[in-house]
Amino acid sequence: MKPHPAPNPRTSSLLKIGAALSFIIFITTAVTTVSSGERARTGGRETPLRTGSPRPARTAQDRAESVEAFGKVYKVLMSPRCLNCHPAGNVPLQGDDSHLHTMLPQRGVDGKGVFAMKCGNCHQATNTPGRHTPPGNPEWHLPPANMKMVFQGRTPNQLAKQLVDPKQNGRKSMKELLEHADDTLVLAGWHPGEGRTLPPMSHAEFKKAWTTWLEKGAVAPAP
């Protein structure tokens, strides 16, 4: 077997320099690519979003449309039909003035009340006829104690960020957030029972704004 020739020391040095240069060029290119990719995806200013979160806005127009859509979303979410079951405390709110629910029912661990004061004890599967009677829905409840999803007192900026944060939104993915527009309790806001005002726009308008806000980047309005 013919032995390998001993490498020429000069050739060997050139090869080492070439390999090092190639490595440096590769690393530089790779870092530049990741960096520009990250900028493209984040618009250069936004915090990278977690898996399952909405895609950041791609253009200034997207951002503007997203913020404008959230303005409509916010009006609905802060209306009594939504706000009343997203209180800052542990007692739901009631009425168009969002006063504390009479009898002071408590949230409980699962959001369905405590002991003899569970939501479903009075709130039936459908609205009870008459004014000042309990509105109904089979799923009637507050958010649970370990994720209160508070709307009351939130600014547009705070609420927008909260809604897309899986640690604060019920661990909802982008797909689940989009679907949430048709959630049975969300829809109940547009069938509130006698004597209660409706949210400030139709459900179709709300859903369109909700979808636009999310799909255009779920941009939070300026604080």
If one counts every other C-beta atom within 10 angstroms of the C-beta of residue 21, the result is 10
Residue closest to 217 by CA, chosen among 77, 69, 34? 69
Local structure of 146: helix, strand or coil: coil
| Of 47-55, 78-86, 118-126, 157-165: span binding other proteins (CB under 8 A) | 118-126
Site for other proteins (CB under 8 A): how many residues?
20
Out of 41, 43, 95, 128, which residue is the one contacting other proteins (CB under 8 A)?
128
Local structure of 93: helix, strand or coil: strand
Q: How far is the CB of 125 from other proteins (least distance, A)?
A: 7
Residue 99's φ and ψ, nearest 5 degrees, are -80, 165
Query: What is the x/- site pattern for other proteins, positions 90-109, by CB under 8 A?
Result: ------------xxxxx---
Query: Which position has the token pair 């709130």?
Result: 123
Q: Does 134 bind other proteins (CB under 8 A)?
A: yes
Out of 55, 118, 180, 191, which residue is the one contacting other proteins (CB under 8 A)?
118
Q: How far is the CB of 103 from other proteins (least distance, A)?
A: 5
Q: Are 52 and 173 in contact (CB under 8 A)?
A: yes
In whole angstroms, give the CA distance from residue 12 to residue 24. Answer: 18
- Residues that bind other proteins in the complex, under the rule CB under 8 A: 102-106, 114-118, 120-122, 124-125, 128, 130, 132-134
